Homo-oligomer: A and B are copies of this chain.
Amino acid sequence: MKAEIVSIGTELLMGEITDTNASFIASRLPPLGIELQLVSQVGDDLDVLVETFKRGLLRSDIIFTTGGLGPTQDDLTREAVAKTFGEEMTVQADLLEHLEEGFRRRGMPMPPTNVKQATLIPSAVSLPNARGTAPGWWATGDDGTIICMPGPPRELRGIWEEEVLPRLRKETRGEVIVSRNIKTSGVSEGGLDEMVAEYLGQDNPYLGLYSKSDGIHLRIIARASTEDEAWSLIAPVEEGLTSIVGPYIWGYDDETPERSAGLLLAEKKLTLATMESCTGGLLASNITEEPLSDGYYNGGMVLHSSDRSAWLEVGIPREVVEGYGVYSEQAAQAMAQAARTRMRADIGLGLTGLAGMDSIDENTPAGAIHIAIAWEDGVSYFPSRLPPRRQVVKRRAASTALIELRRFLSTL
């Protein structure tokens, strides 16, 4: 089954907003065996919308739309679907009653413009929206189906899970596409490409390499008539890859470094504290993206000045600061220990390095990153070398530190 996504709204064409709704839908289609042909972003223009829908139905079985279901004159998705199918929109008593009830509950009068949110065409059924005033439409004509969903991401995701997905599951009983994402670090894209060469170039299962801020991802994609069959195509490839690149693997599928390390901390009932320099708070911020972190993360310090007194103040020994400098292995180890002691945590994570373009001297090259982990029995040290660009170092050093932490925790 083939599909297209049409994201609707003039603001999408202003270049200010990235279309996360399309990415959300796109990522949900492969397990349903739906092949995505095209994604379009279209302004609030009736003629362009109708043309896009008509062309889309020639090419694809399903068109998913997001946006344009609001109450204003600019919101034209319903009108465009009606025109595409050559049908009239009429107000439905039950939908209107439900809409008015919603406004009553919030103690607000319903503005008359909202009435259009209670309309339908003969070909469409209404998809209830538990999170907003705009219900979706599921419209089926001779040439295919147009599924209209609201634009606010929270409403879209809700209506997708509760209304669209269950219906799609009933309709799609054809090919299934499944994928497995293997996440590595510590090896270059070129190096990995050579190592896994024997698995590249096949069509099913297909293997792709993608470079990301948390390392290189190996993605295996398989198509088959059932999910089990597709997984049985993936299994031998995954096994083969694991035997080749096993030591570099740190996670799978949608795992992040912070989730992966966080789950181990929670499981082992250990607490964590951090002290970071070149990541400027991003290490702490990544850790606290996980709701569970309230239970295991005690807190952190961000040292952002090379002024020695600031480092002495937080417990880095004078002989380290003056003897080795603040961007050194010794500094990272002292940071890990100071974080652990001062914030009474089981594990201290220290991260320092020079992020900018200019090396200080031979011993302190730009992009050299020092990661240290302190625990009750000692301190471990992990060096890393990153491209010396401020933003790249900031993001990749934070990921690398959490990947090393995960590796370390898994050996405890």
Residues of A within 8 A of B (CB): 11-20, 22-30, 36-43, 48, 51-52, 55, 59, 179, 208, 210, 219, 274, 279-289, 291, 293-294, 297-305, 307, 309-310, 313, 342-344, 356, 390, 394
Contact = CB atoms under 8 A, between A and B. Distances in A.
Contact of A40 (B39, B288, B303): B39
Contact of A298 (B274, B304, B356): B304
A300 B29 CA distance: 43
A297 B288 contact: no
Given A280-B284, A342-B313, A27 B14 contact: yes
Contacts of A305: 297-299
Contacts of A298: 304-305, 307, 310
Contact of A13 (B26, B294, B342, B394): B26
Nearest to A391: B289
Given A52-B38, A285-B285, A11 B208 contact: yes
Number of copies: 2
Contacts of A289: 280
A242 to B, nearest CB: 21
A28 B42 contact: no
A388 to B, nearest CB: 13
A302 B302 contact: yes
6 contacts: A13-B36, A15-B25, A40-B40, A280-B289, A281-B300, A302-B302
A15 B28 contact: yes
A298 B313 CA distance: 12
Given A36-B43, A299-B302, 16 more contacts: A11-B208, A13-B39, A14-B26, A15-B25, A16-B23, A279-B285, A280-B287, A281-B285, A281-B302, A288-B394, A294-B356, A298-B305, A298-B307, A299-B305, A300-B304, A310-B343
Contact of A42 (B38, B41, B313, B344): B38
Given A16-B210, A281-B281, A41 B38 contact: yes
A42 B41 CA distance: 12
Contact of A15 (B23, B37, B281): B23
Contacts of A41: 22, 38-40
Contacts of A13: 26, 36-39
A43 B38 CA distance: 7
Given A281-B281, A297-B305, A313-B343, A40 B43 contact: no
